[in-house]
Amino acid sequence: MLVVKDLHVSVEGKEILKGLDLTINKGEVHAIMGPNGAGKSTLSSVIAGKDGYEVTAGTITYKGEDVLEMAVEERARAGLLLGFQYPVEIPGVKNVYLLKAALNAKREAEGLGEIPAPEFMKLIREKLAFMQMDASFLQRAVNEGFSGGEKKRNEILQMLVLEPKLVMLDEIDSGLDIDALKVVAKGVNSLRNEDRSVLMVTHYQRLLEHIVPDHIHVLIDGRIVKSGDKSLALELEAHGYDWLQEETA
């Protein structure tokens, strides 16, 4: 479904990804782990089409199509969605409008009309309840004054409403207490099905106890240096990344 081949990416003239290969099939959950500054966020940002990244070599294809040729909106419409696509506060824009606009853009691309207001409210209330979020949340400006945990729940709420084909989550676990982590994990797990894939970036093994990945990859210095199943996370938890760094060097 998503194939990344020999990807090289530079930021401000500095090479960050140095020949990264990754294949994600339908229905699979992949976790990318690795030390700070390895290029984990760069990878998901490049797939989602964020500005500021220069692809100097390699390819990314999704269902055979060249992702790098697609504008960021096209990628979102194709179902490649990175959580925190809107990490910034957007003063005056209510959360509910952003969600509705994003959903309608997706529906339009699918040849559907705008979602009728009652249907939208029914959908959103159901998802809010599932994420244990208060309805007052909808009326607040996007991310304005949100706590870390609220932002993360909001990120998953967006995913639940938009139902992307590839869910990308970057450090969805950072700064969450255990209860919030469980709610977020419940949201992500509810998205798992045979058609949808998940790519999540995390520092910590803890998240992977709640969202059990099919594959784990270790990203060090711009390349995936090791892949394995969930047991790899335990190995990393016990031994850190140093042994891999040494092996790679």
CB of 27 to Mg ion, least distance (A): 25
Cα separation, 98 vs 186, whole angstroms: 23
Supply the minimum distance, in Å, between the C-beta of residue 10 and ligand ADP: 9
Residues that bind ligand ADP (CB under 6 A): 11-12, 16, 34, 36-42, 52
Alpha-carbon span 20 to 31, nearest angstrom: 15
- Minimal distance in Å, beta carbon 247 to ligand ADP? 19
Select from 38-46, 124-132, 135-143, 222-230 the region that touches Mg ion (CB under 5 A). 38-46
Helices (H), the chain: 40-48, 72-78, 95-109, 117-130, 148-162, 178-191, 206-210, 231-239, 242-248
Minimum CB distance to ligand ADP smaller for 137 or for 222: 222
How many residues of this chain interact with Mg ion, rule: CB under 5 A? 2
Q: Given the complex with Mg ion, which of 33 and 115 has the nearer CB atom?
A: 33
> How far is residue 141's CA from residue 98's CA, in Å, rounded to a whole number?
9
101-104 long-range contacts (CB < 8 A, ≥24 apart) are 102/76, 102/158, 102/161, 102/162, 103/161, 103/162
**Whole-angstrom distance, CA of residue 112 vs CA of residue 90:** 27
- State in angstroms the smallest separation of the CB of 87 from ligand ADP: 13
Q: How far is CA 70 from the centre of its chain?
A: 18
* β-pair type (197-201, 29-33): parallel
Minimum distance from residue 222 beta carbon to ligand ADP (Å): 8
Identity of the amino acid at 28: E
Which is nearer to ligand ADP, 137 or 170 (by Cβ)?
Answer: 170
Q: Which of 41/104 has CB closer to Mg ion?
A: 41
Tokens 């058609």 belong to which residue?
A: 195
Question: Looking at beta carbons only, is 39 or 58 nearer to ligand ADP?
Answer: 39
Q: Nearer Cβ to ligand ADP, position 115 or 208?
A: 208
Q: Rule CB under 5 A: say whether 227 interacts with Mg ion.
A: no
From the list ligand ADP, Mg ion, none, pick the one residue 16 interacts with, judged by a Cβ distance below 5 to 8 Å according to partner type.
ligand ADP
| Among residues 8, 11, 19, 41, the one that binds Mg ion under rule CB under 5 A | 41
* Listed ranges 33-41, 76-84, 142-150, 227-235: which one lies at the site for Mg ion (CB under 5 A): 33-41
| Residue recorded with tokens 């696509």 | 85
Tell me which residues touch Mg ion (CB under 5 A): 40-41
